[in-house]
Amino acid sequence: MKFFIDTADIKEIREAAAMGLVDGVTTNPSLVARTGRKFRDVLVEICDVVKGPVSAEVVSTTCDAMMKEARELASLRGNVVVKLPLIAEGLKATRTCADEGIKTNVTLCFSPNQALLAAKAGATYVSPFVGRLDDISSDGMALIGDIMTIYRNYSFATQVLVASVRHPEHVVVAAKLGAHVATCPFSVLLQLARHPLTDIGLEKFLSDWKKVPG
Ligand code: E4P
């Protein structure tokens, strides 16, 4: 299972990379806006720090305009993955990108049928948003299970990138279901490492060590 970090904050990316937890990065317009920096500057800096796939989202809503953005973004660095919204025009752009050899992450996926269409359009990744489904009393992780079943039934090459991850249990269930990738905020990556018994055990070892002569 691969871990991507879901942030455009270069400091967080460097910290997580130092722990060996960054196989790739996902960004979106909201995350980029939080940096207060120009999109291209942020993207190039991230791509120079992380050698794995870095998702960069288009902000157009027609296929032609999306393709213009997609070609520009993909030309910036070899590890850019173009993020396209799961709408009809986005599927057209996904197919065109696949034909041109541009990698894609089809985002804002909320149903099994949407994921099926993304795979048929030739998406490299599909991003089901589990946390946002949970937010409206739907079952985000059930969607991941459905997509994994459908993709396995037909041996689709599209990778399931679990997005909108809010807590460690999302990651556990994603791993049990065999999802290819989980993209996590930095705070969730840190939570994955924590256990109260680890802290208690470490404190005891360190206090006992003080009693050791020499
Ligand atoms: C990642 O690709 C998504 O943009 C992100 O995980 C969305 O997360 P949110 O629902 O917490 O904004």
Instruction: Calculate helix-pair angle for 186-193, 10-18, nearest 10 degrees.
Output: 20
51 vs 25, 89, 96, CA distance in Å?
10, 30, 25
3-state class (DSSP) for residue 12 = helix
Please give the pLDDT value at position 159.
98
Q: Specify the ligand 1 atom closest to the Cα of 127.
A: 2
Catalytic choice (2, 38, 51, 83): 83
Q: Specify the ligand 1 atom closest to the Cα of 161.
A: 2
What distance in Å separates the CA atoms of residue 154 and residue 132, rounded to the nearest whole number?
A: 27
Owner of token pair 């032609």? 64
Torsion, Cα of 10, 11, 16, 20 (10° steps): 70
pLDDT confidence tier of residue 214, bands split at 50, 70 and 90: confident
Written as six digits, the tokens of 141 are 């992780």
Ligand 1 site, residue 105, Cβ cutoff 6 A:
no
Q: Which residue's CA is minimally distant from atom 5 of ligand 1?
A: 164
Percent of the chain with pLDDT over 90: 100
Ligand 1 site, residue 168, Cβ cutoff 6 A:
no
Ligand 1 site, residue 9, Cβ cutoff 6 A:
no
Does position 50 have pLDDT exceeding 90, yes or no? Answer: yes
What's the rounded mean pLDDT across residues 194-199? 97
pLDDT confidence tier of residue 122, bands split at 50, 70 and 90: very high
Cα 41–Cα 43–Cα 46 angle in degrees, nearest 5: 110
What's the rounded mean pLDDT across residues 60-83? 98
Q: What is the value of pTM for the model shown?
A: 0.96
Percent of the chain with pLDDT over 70: 100
145-164 per-position pLDDT tens digit: 999 999 999 999 999 999 99
CA 139 to chain centre: 19
Ligand 1 site, residue 129, Cβ cutoff 6 A:
yes
Distance between Cα 202 and ligand 1 center (Å): 34
Average pLDDT of every residue of the chain: 98
Does position 140 have pLDDT exceeding 90, yes or no? Answer: yes
Q: Which residue's CA is minimally distant from atom 8 of ligand 1?
A: 164
Please give the pLDDT value at position 42.
98
Mutate which of 6, 9, 130, 187 to test ligand 1's pocket (most atoms within 8 Å of Cβ)?
Answer: 6
What's the rounded mean pLDDT across residues 27-35? 98
Does position 125 have pLDDT exceeding 90, yes or no? Answer: yes
Q: Which helix (H) or strand (E) holds 4?
A: strand 2-6
3-state class (DSSP) for residue 139 = coil
Ligand 1 site, residue 132, Cβ cutoff 6 A:
yes
CA 7 to chain centre: 9
Contact present, 49 and 14 (Cβ < 8 Å): yes
Distance between Cα 49 and ligand 1 center (Å): 21
Does position 96 have pLDDT exceeding 90, yes or no? Answer: yes
204 catalytically annotated? no
